[in-house]
Amino acid sequence: MREMDKAFDFKTAQTRWYARWEAAGVFTADRESAKTPFSMSLPPPNITGNLHMGHALAYTLPDVVARLKRAQSFDVCWVPGVDHAGIATQVIVERQLKEEGTDRHKLGREKFLERIWAWKAQNQDDIENQLRRLGASVDWTRKRFTMDPDLNRAVRKVFVEAYRQGRIYRGPRMIQWDPASQTALSDLEVKHVERHGHLWHLNYPLADGSGHITVATTRPETMLGDTAVAVHPEDERYTHLVGKLVKLPLTDREIPIVADAFVDRDFGTGCVKLTPAHDPNDHAAGLRLGLPSLTVIGFDAKMTREAGAAYAGLDRFECRKKVVADLEAAGLLAKTQSHTSMVACSDRTGAVLEPLVSEQWFMKVDEAAKAALEAVRDGRIKFTPEHHVAVWEHWLTNIQDWCISRQLVWGHRIPAWTCASCGALHVELEAPPACPGCSSDDLVQDPDTLDTWFSSALWPFSILGWPDETADLKRYYPNDVMCTSYDIIFFWVARMAMSGLTWMKEIPFRQVYFNSLVRDEGGQKMSKSKGNVIDPLEVMDEFGTDALRFTLISMSAPGTDIALSRTRLEGSRNFCNKLWNAARFVQMNLTDDVTLALDPEFGEAEHWMKGRIAETLKAVTEALEHFRFHEAADLLYHLVWDDFCATYIELAKVNLTSGTPAQKAAILHFLDFILRALHPLVPFVTEEIHEAVVADRLKPGEPRMLAQRAWPLGDPLLSRPGGDATLIPRFQEVLSAFLRLKAENGVDPAKRVPAVCSVRELAPFAEAFKAIARLESLEFPSGDLASPTRAVAVVAGGTAALDLAGLKDPAAEKAKLEKEKEKLEKELAGLRGRLDNPRYLEKAPAEEVEKAQALAAEKAARLEQVRALLG
């Protein structure tokens, strides 16, 4: 048996074990198994980067669940994978090309794609290895990439079916255009950012020369594309002008003044310029009123020829300056106000978006949204924490059609072909050899790709082999649990629900657990620009993976964000080390004949420890099954530190060093229970200890690796009858009293003094008292212990005292007793107040009253002792 080091060396442990688990197939699901299946899908990380702290949390929590379920004898299928991350990936590779002095247009579509695939291969390996370092117990034999050929087949299948059903359509519509990445975006990819700008008041002269009308705008450059000015139909200030024409400044056009109820009379001047080509509101109004649309800004965010010779080719923001200057020069700038507004920006590139009309593909989602709403309302899908339901309801009831086409190269290519000769559009699973209409073979595939989330939406079933009816699909769909971050509830969770219900006719998962967001020590969101990012890879190097996991788990109270701090990480590392050293101490004292096959011998301490483990295991199981990870971590922390290390091992030291094999077997069993209970949370340190201490002492037939051992809840040993559960807490109180008396009287803790105690039931613990509190002797006499040389403390059921002779500090003792008396009197007064209230006695549950009475009796007894000692 290997000797254990003085401190837990996590670096070697965490590289050794994952490879062994994986090689032994511990994480491989078995579709032939007779066990009950339990399935999850890993939210696929983007191939664009390293694991960040959000991933660490989002993958640790389901790993706890997976390891628990595996131990509870479920056939766990947790499928991992990575996401191609359309825009993000393309932006990164394009940036690399730029550094090399080239770009994707020079390279050409095919070469560019090759380049991205090569980059992807490297990154995928990296991120997969980072997942392994984290300990994520996923089934690598089933790993997927969102652009794998069979996932592409699923995407094409959905696209073609949806098109045939009329759920997918193509058409010119106003979309949000990102000039930086040169693609359309969906509404979800738009972030509204507060920007300080101006509100310019512009005078538009009336064509008949009878004055002017003043409009207010934040985007003066768009005035070059105005096709009307709108006022509210009931705005008396302007009704007389409706129908008149104004002369649009800086152009030679005349445009009408129209009335529409969408105008807010109280904003600006109450007159709004209408630019149907460049504003979603104006676009809608233009359609309502039959106004022409004039595109003055192009896809490159530069002004078009339509903007006029003076402005064509200018960047939109340059043009803004020029338009303002020109209007001012013409005396038409009435006022410039500073103004703060929410500007639509790309979530990905940060660029200011341009609303533009263009030909795009859209998906109708109203029906699917209803189904998804229904599934949550009727409880088929449950959310933890539940408050996310409100957000879900709001978004899905106001959902708009989804713009799914992207003008990107990296992604699933849209399976649509246009005939170059007859112009017919064909949406097919495979490229048609010739146009079914005119037989021309000159078919051109749509160059666009699909929104990344289109393939993500199919993830829970596409990874199991859909559209084929595979055995995996039958067994593992729907998933039991989906653990993910709430910031992608719309992007991903809602869309998975909608597509699952549409294509599988069945929910994709029964339970969604939304994990928290990880923030920095001060509660700030981590971001590169703030420089407060804590890198999980570095944390794993410095504190160990187990410490990182334990910290995240212990801070994962549902519904609150996590402020990750160094001190918490240190605390978790210390905890792992504490466990390690307790195990090391046990191991040092075990002889080869001590095994888990021995029938252990229980004394009072063992009965108590057994009870503590049994209670804790029950509570931990309950907590984990309800996603109260922090509660499980807290319970186990105290079980290990307070109960096992501080109390039990101290009491068992005699047995441990000189006991019989049967007595030592009890200790071994307890350590074994603790390792099994902690393994889902801190797999590396527990496996390492298991190897060093337990693996050679297992019962015949038990798996040698902890990762394969069973969850210990319900083990017969934990319900062995016997023992007085109150004895150990009373022992602890008396022990603590002895130690305190030494401290209070300024006695060196190492000085051995004679002691007495009136609680005679504790006599069997005399040796433990003497060893731990370092007493010279300990008697359990009957009668009054008080004496001038004794320092006395009141404990439950009696008194405990040290014979200090000249060392006693009477003043300190008196002060202490006075303080205790005050406290007891106050507590007793509170209890009496309650118990003397007839309405309390009448209305409170009997159980409560009894508890209060017992407590009052105990306090009264103590108070009496204290008073007696004070004389």
Partner RNA sequence: GGGCGUAUAACUCAGCGGUAGAGUGCUACCUUCACACGGUAGAAGUCCCAGGUUCGAAUCCUGGUACGCCCACCA
Determine which residue in the list 438, 593, 837, 850 makes contact with RNA, applying CB under 7 A: 837
* Selection from 726, 855, 865, 727 nearest residue 801 by Cα: 865
Residue 316 in the binding site for RNA (CB under 7 A): no
Q: What share of the chain is helix, strand, coil (3-state, %, to 5)?
A: 50, 20, 35
Closest to RNA by CB, 390 or 725: 390
**Distance separating alpha carbons of residues 224 and 228, to the nearest angstrom:** 11
Which CB, 582 or 791, lies closer to RNA?
Answer: 582
The residue type at 486: Y
CB of 746 to RNA, least distance (A): 9
Task: Collect all residues with Cβ–Cβ distance below 8 Å to 491 and sequence separation of at least 6.
Answer: 188, 453, 456
Residue 507 token pair: 């929910």
State whether the Cα torsion 621-622-625-626 is positive or negative. Answer: negative
Pick the binder of RNA from 191, 335, 770, 832 (CB under 7 A).
191
Q: Tell me the CA distances in angstroms from 16 to 12, 19, 59, 143, 538, one per residue in order.
A: 6, 6, 20, 22, 18
Check residue 119 for interaction with RNA (CB under 7 A). no
- Nearest-approach distance from CB 735 to RNA, in angstroms: 7
Task: Determine if 677 is a binding residue for RNA (CB under 7 A).
Answer: no
Question: What residues between 324 and 343 interact with RNA by CB under 7 A?
Answer: 341-342
Least distance to RNA from the beta carbon of 656, Å?
8
Contact between 570 and RNA (CB under 7 A)?
Answer: yes
Which tokens sit at 773? 């509190």
Residue 714 has phi, psi (to 5 degrees) of 90, 0
Query: CB of 138 within 8 A of CB of 79?
Result: yes
CB-CB neighbours of 114 under 10 Å = 12
Q: Helices in 355-464 by DSSP H: which ranges? A: 366-377, 388-397, 452-456, 459-462
> Which two structure tokens, joined as six digits, stand for 210?
């009878």
CB closer to RNA out of 113 and 259:
259
Show Cβ contacts of residue 833 under 8 Å, excluding neighbours closer than 6 positions: none
Question: How near is the Cβ of 607 to RNA at its closest, in Å?
Answer: 20
Q: State which residue, 281 or 470, has the beta carbon closest to RNA.
A: 281
Q: Does 96 contact RNA by CB under 7 A?
A: no
138 or 216, CB closer to RNA? 216
Interaction between residue 271 and RNA (CB under 7 A): yes
Binding status of residue 588 toward RNA by CB under 7 A: yes
**Cβ distance 39 to 65 under 8 Å?**
no
CA angle 553, 143, 89 (to 5 degrees): 85
Show the CA angle centred on residue 437, arms to residues 434 and 441, nearest 5°: 20
In this complex, which beta carbon is closest to RNA, that of residue 72 or of residue 341? 341
Closest separation between CB of residue 281 and RNA, Å?
4
- According to DSSP, the residues that pair with 775 across neighbouring strands are 753
Among 219, 612, 664, 679, binds RNA (CB under 7 A): 219
Task: Give me the least distance between CB of 524 and RNA, in Å please.
Answer: 8
In a 13 Å sphere around the CA of 68, the CA atoms on its Cβ side amount to 21
Closer CB to RNA, residue 267 or residue 317?
A: 267
Least separation in angstroms between CB 187 and RNA: 5
Side chain identity at 374, as an amino acid letter? E
Tell me: does residue 630 bind RNA (CB under 7 A): yes
Letters for 549-568 (x = contact with RNA by CB under 7 A, - = none) are ------x-x-xxxxx-x-xx
Residue list 340-359, contact with RNA (CB under 7 A): 341-342
User: Among 101, 209, 806, 845, which residue interacts with RNA (rule: CB under 7 A)?
Assistant: 845
Question: Please, what is the minimum distance in Å from the beta carbon of residue 871 to RNA?
Answer: 23
> Which DSSP string do the residues of 576-597 spell out, in sequence order?
HHHHHHHHHHHHHH--TT--TT
Q: Is 782 in the site for RNA (CB under 7 A)?
A: no
Q: Does 840 help bind RNA (rule: CB under 7 A)? A: yes
Q: Which of 555, 686, 711 is nearest to 620 (CA)?
A: 711
Residue 800 lies near RNA (rule: CB under 7 A):
no
- Nearer to RNA by Cβ, of 760 and 851: the residue is 851
Query: Residues 510-549: x/- map of binding to RNA (CB under 7 A)?
Result: ---------x-xxx-x------------------------
Binding residues among 148-167 for RNA as defined by CB under 7 A: none
Closer to RNA by Cβ: residue 7 or 431: 7
- Give the sheet arrangement for strand 790-795, strand by strand: 775-779, 753-757, 798-803, 790-795
Residue of 106, 394, 474, 752 interacting with RNA (CB under 7 A) = 394
Hey, is 78 helix, strand or coil? Answer: strand
173 belongs to the binding site for RNA (CB under 7 A):
no
Residue 284 or 424: the one with the smaller Cβ distance to RNA is 284
Do 766 and 779 touch, CB atoms closer than 8 A?
Answer: no
| One of 69, 142, 156, 273 touching RNA (CB under 7 A) | 273
Query: 435 or 518, CB closer to RNA?
Result: 518
Cis peptide before 716 (omega within 30 of 0): no
- Residue 870, interface with RNA (CB under 7 A)? no
Nearer to RNA, 522 or 700 (CB): 522
List helix spans (H) across 186-306: 280-289
Site residue total, RNA (CB under 7 A): 94
Nearest distance in Å: CB 710, RNA: 26
Nearer to RNA, 153 or 191 (CB): 191
CA neighbor of 556 nearest in space, from 481, 490, 460, 486: 486
CB of 261 to RNA, least distance (A): 10
770 is an interface residue for RNA by CB under 7 A:
no
Using the rule CB under 7 A, is 852 a contact of RNA? yes
Q: Which region, left, alpha or beta, applies to residue 379 given φ > 0 means left and ψ of -120 to 50 means alpha?
A: left
**If binding is defined by CB under 7 A, does position 754 make contact with RNA?**
no
Amino acid type, 406: R
Residue 126 CB neighbour total at 10 angstroms: 13
**Which tokens hold the place of 457?**
């939406």
Give the orientation angle of helix 10-23 with respect to helix 109-134, to 10 degrees.
110
Q: Which is nearer to RNA, 160 or 772 (CB)?
A: 772
Give me the 448-487 binding string for RNA, x by CB under 7 A, dash otherwise.
Answer: ---------------------------------------x
Q: Are 271 and 256 in contact (CB under 8 A)?
A: no
Nearer to RNA, 202 or 375 (CB): 202
Task: Tell me the closest approach of the beta carbon of residue 125 to RNA, in angstroms.
Answer: 31
Q: How far is the CB of 18 from RNA (least distance, A)?
A: 21
Residue 594 interacting with RNA (CB under 7 A): no
Q: Find the shortest distance in angstroms from Cβ 123 to RNA.
A: 26
